[in-house]
Amino acid sequence: MIAYGKHPVWIDGAPWYIEACRKLGLSHYRYRFGDWLFQAVERAVQMLKDRTEDFDDYSPCRKRECILDHVWRWLNLFQLFSQPETINIIDNIKGVMTMT
């Protein structure tokens, strides 16, 4: 919260989220099961979990006291490649490559 400030939080109504938001002084809004927002959030979370698991399956860390730096780097890269600007750049590069 120090770096980015307080932003509203969307929750699915679980009581521990409500209590956590109250303790932190965050405004929160509830979306209901079956709403389009619920489906979008659940799909995004599931995609992140699946891709993180795939990453761990194909690139497991064998260090003894791993602090997961490789996972954080991968998540940052995943987030970068999910940005619309980056997707447009990649699509343009693919288009140029197919023309040659």
Q: What is the pLDDT of residues 54-75, one digit of tens each?
A: 877 777 777 777 777 777 787 7
Average pLDDT, the chain: 79
Which of 52, 46, 59, 57 has its CA nearest to residue 75? 52
Query: What does each C-alpha distance from 39 to 8, 11, 34, 54 come to in angstroms?
Result: 19, 12, 6, 22
Tell whether 56 is covered by a domain.
no
pLDDT bin (cut points 50, 70, 90) of residue 83 is confident
Q: What is the pLDDT of residues 43-57, one digit of tens each?
A: 888 888 888 788 777
Tell whether 4 is covered by a domain.
yes
Containing structural domain, residue 17: 1-30
Tell whether 78 is covered by a domain.
no
Strands annotated E in 1-100: 9-11, 28-30
Tell whether 5 is covered by a domain.
yes
- pTM for this model (two decimals): 0.48
37 within 8 A of 31, measured Cβ to Cβ: yes
Tell whether 9 is covered by a domain.
yes
Q: How many domains does the chain have?
A: 1
